[in-house]
Amino acid sequence: MGVEIQIEGLTKSFGKQLIWGDVTLTVPAGEICVMLGPSGTGKSVLLKTLIGLLKPDRGSVVIEGTDIATCSERELYEIRKLFGVLFQDGAMFGSMNLYDNVAFPLREHTKKSESEVRDIVMEKMELVGLVGAEDKLPGEISGGMRKRAGLARALVLDPEIVLFDEPDSGLDPVRTAFLNQLIVDLNAQIDATFLIVTHDINTARTVPDNIGLLYHRHLAMFGPREMLLSSEEPVVRQFLNAQRVGPIGMSEEKDADELAAEKDQELPPLPPIPLQLEPTNGQPRRSQRPPGDWCRANGVTPPPGSFEPAMSMTPGA
């Protein structure tokens, strides 16, 4: 069972440059959350702050009663045992084969015997579909396989929170689709809390239970997937539907002249909300909500064609 992450008033700067300020949200236990935002909005910085690699200027990150921002190094060491992290490039040790890469956290942080280590490593490699590749070096396999190996390593300590830093970076659409399905299947199996940083709109539209959007040095919105996919908030609507019309420009924000030129342009209609990706066994995850559940509960009429099977894997166009 995953654990909840409570983030309150989080602010981070590098020198005089504010990255984001007053970020407040709760990442629900056991659910899949996606964090989006234009490049340079501090999404990876947020992940590093959650795991204590960076200290915030203000605010708190509370996990099981411990504030990551103010706790001692000893407390931080213990809390980090709850985490598994998949880095952008997999972060494999190039001189170690995949088996030893995946086994590294077990050998470093536990006193398990080599036979116990082998059982756990092979179990995790089977979960990510890498059985048979354990003797290969990272340089001998594809980027997609390196991502899966990195995911196996992130899972060997049975984490209650798994952080994914742009897991689809460098992957083609087919491999991204396979990885998305793997993430959903893993969440169904281990019931951990997943937080994914991504730029992939199809991932954001089909995978998570909740979506967040960082923009212009603050958290623009965070909530259930259907809430954001039906939102009329200009920055949310523009980003989640990959549209040119809206406040986001090439340099994050459009200037006043650009916005004025768009003033009378009619926005394209919101695309249908796709069905959420389900586990391959067809059994809903514990945190999965029925299609349209949030819209019905909040009196929101979803865009025409929403939640139809034919729309389930349609990118936001």
pLDDT for residue 314 is more than 70: no
Residue with more model confidence, 91 or 182: 182
DSSP per-residue string spanning 144-158: HHHHHHHHHHHHTT-
By residue count, the chain amounts to 317
- What is d(CA 60, CA 57) in angstroms, rounded to the nearest whole number? 10
- pLDDT for 264 equals 64
CA distances from 314 to 99, 241, 272 (A): 37, 12, 9
Kindly report the pTM of this predicted structure.
Answer: 0.89
E-strand stretches of 177-309: 193-197, 210-215, 218-224, 248-249, 252-253
Question: 1-82+159-172+180-317, which class in CATH?
Answer: alpha beta
Helical pair 173-190 and 143-155, crossing angle rounded to 10 deg: 10
Model pLDDT, residue 315: 43
**263 pLDDT more than 70:** no
Query: Could you read off the pLDDT of 127-181 as tens digits, one per residue?
Result: 888 999 999 999 998 888 888 899 999 999 999 999 999 988 878 888 889 889 9
Q: Name the residue ranges covered by the structural domains of the chain.
A: 1-82+159-172+180-317, 96-158
Strand bridging mode 193-197 / 32-36: parallel
